[in-house]
Amino acid sequence: MEHIVIKGGHPLRGDVRIEGAKNAVLPAMAAALLAKGPTLLEGAPPLKDVEAMAEILGWLGVEVKREGPRTWSVAPETLSRLVLPEELSRKLRSSLFLLGPLLARFGEVEMGYPGGCSIGARPIDFHLKGLRQMGVEVLEETPVLRARVRELRGADIYLAYPSVGATENLMMAATLARGTTTIRNAAKEPEVVDLARLLTAMGARIRGAGSDVVTVEGVGELHGVQHRIIPDRIEAGTFLLALAATGGQGAVQGVVPGHLYAVLDMLHQMGCQVSFTRDRIHLKARGRVQPVDIRTQPYPGFPTDLQNPALAVLVKADGTSIITESVFESRFRVAEELRRMGAQVQVDGRLAVVRGVPKLKGTRLMAHELRGAAALLIAALSAEGVSTLEGVQHLDRGYARLEERLSRLGAAVERVNTLRVD
């Protein structure tokens, strides 16, 4: 059993380099299946989810190699299986990204339903509806999903919600389809744009990525390339919020500030002094944070993945904040843990009313999912006394050695291994 011990009350100081984006590398690894020849992905974050994706690809027979701590090569020519067992599919939500590329390239796939964080129902109907429009026959059986197609054909697809995953899956499928695919109400997230950049370098014909209409003209084949993953805006936001929560001062480096405008605006409203250059954002906290009302939204709105970390800061604000979660329906589970630290958070469905308190007190905390884990760590850093955080495996799915990097900024955090003797 691993847990993290946090002695709160140390303001963070200094600079931290941000890793590549988890949500960009996972679809990129799947996209590599579309190419004839190997693809080299650079700037991949050293995360458990990336290793899980590599394991899945390896199981399919793909040659996946870690060429360096942050570089992976994916050579799909040796692929020998089109069936993914349930326990592998369940390892991460992103196993779903295999659907588009495998159908486009090999016309067939059988897999278990994807897993992922417990933050809502997370249906996959938009993915399946779009694929069906492209001619795929999908059998939704329990516990597996079977899909096959003789030849994918371009289609005009409308997404009822700008789903990031569905936009990416359909964009990948469309690259090798016959004819043109139009995805309307497409997601505009930077990770969608990064995937389009990768696919375009591979030879795909894509227009409009980053806008709400993406058009893909199918081509005969794609080739392997070398691609650098964009920086992780969510990781950057998490560090900035940790700086704000502890009354600290410092910077995130190697970021694209333009990906974080909604977050920077919120930090500014909280009363923090924020400035940025081309690839660095500097933050200086100024006393107790001011309350802010937040509504999570698709990009370029405030990202749902930073809602919990922002909540963990606002629990100590000088006044009342209202947080509306409009993307995932059950993303306030962390409120219960925060209340045990003395926070005053009332949750009603997708709404949380946060009455700021001057102090939080350290306690024993349990994380249930990735971003909730980061939020609890932030709260513990700003609390009085010692906290222990359990459920660390959730944190490791999306943050690389977070406690080590926080301790370099002056936090008193330590990962502890305890042997349980029952």
Q: Is 120 in the site for ligand UD1 (CB under 6 A)?
A: yes
Distance CA 83, CA 8 (A): 48
- Does 23 contact ligand UD1 by CB under 6 A? yes
* Active-site option among 52, 96, 104, 117: 117
In angstroms, rounded to a whole number, what is the distance separating the alpha carbons of residues 153 and 249?
53
| Vertex 419: Cα angle to 417 and 421 (nearest 5) | 160
Site map (CB under 6 A) of ligand UD1, residues 340-379, x = contact: ----------------------------------------
Candidates 25, 34, 53, 124; binder of ligand UD1 (CB under 6 A) is 124
Q: Which long-range contacts (CB under 8 A, 24 or more apart) does 58-65 make?
A: 59/84, 59/85, 59/88, 60/84, 60/98, 62/33, 63/38, 64/29
Our finding on whether 307 is near ligand UD1 (CB under 6 A) is no
**Interface region with ligand UD1, contact rule CB under 6 A, candidates 159-167, 195-203, 385-393, 410-418:** 159-167
Sheet holding 320-324, edge to edge: 294-295, 320-324, 351-355, 344-348
Least separation in angstroms between residue 136's CB and ligand UD1 is 14
User: Which residue's CB is nearer to ligand UD1, number 104 or number 192?
Assistant: 192
CA separation for the pair 307, 311 (Å, rounded): 6
Tell me: does residue 301 bind ligand UD1 (CB under 6 A): no
| Calpha distance 189→30 (Å, rounded) | 18
Q: Decide if residue 14 touches ligand UD1 (CB under 6 A).
A: no
**169 is a site residue for ligand UD1 (CB under 6 A):** no
126 binds ligand UD1 (CB under 6 A): yes
The question of whether 117 is a catalytic residue gets the answer: yes
Nearer to ligand UD1, 119 or 380 (CB): 119
* CB of residue 35 to ligand UD1, shortest distance in Å: 21
Pick 341 or 367: Cβ nearer ligand UD1: 367
Provide the minimum distance between the beta carbon of 267 and ligand UD1 in the complex, in angstroms, as a whole number: 19
Is residue 122 near ligand UD1 by the rule CB under 6 A?
yes
127 binds ligand UD1 (CB under 6 A): yes
One of 19, 305, 369, 403 touching ligand UD1 (CB under 6 A): 305
Under rule CB under 6 A, residue 94 binds ligand UD1: yes
Residue 181 in contact with ligand UD1, rule: CB under 6 A: no
CB of 327 to ligand UD1, least distance (A): 5
In whole angstroms, what is the distance from residue 105 CA to residue 220 CA?
Answer: 10
110/235 with CB nearer ligand UD1: 235
Interface with ligand UD1, residue 382, by CB under 6 A: no
Tell me, residue by residue from 326 to 345, as one string, x for binding to ligand UD1 by CB under 6 A and - for no binding.
-xx-----------------
The verdict on 204 binding ligand UD1 (CB under 6 A) reads no
Contacts of 201 (CB under 8 A, 6+ apart): 225, 227
- Say whether residue 266 binds ligand UD1 (CB under 6 A): no
Please state whether the peptide bond connecting residue 300 to the residue before it is cis, i.e. omega within 30 degrees of 0: yes
Question: Catalytic residue numbers?
Answer: 117
Which residues bind to ligand UD1, rule: CB under 6 A? 23, 26, 93-94, 120-127, 161, 163-166, 187, 191, 304-305, 327-328
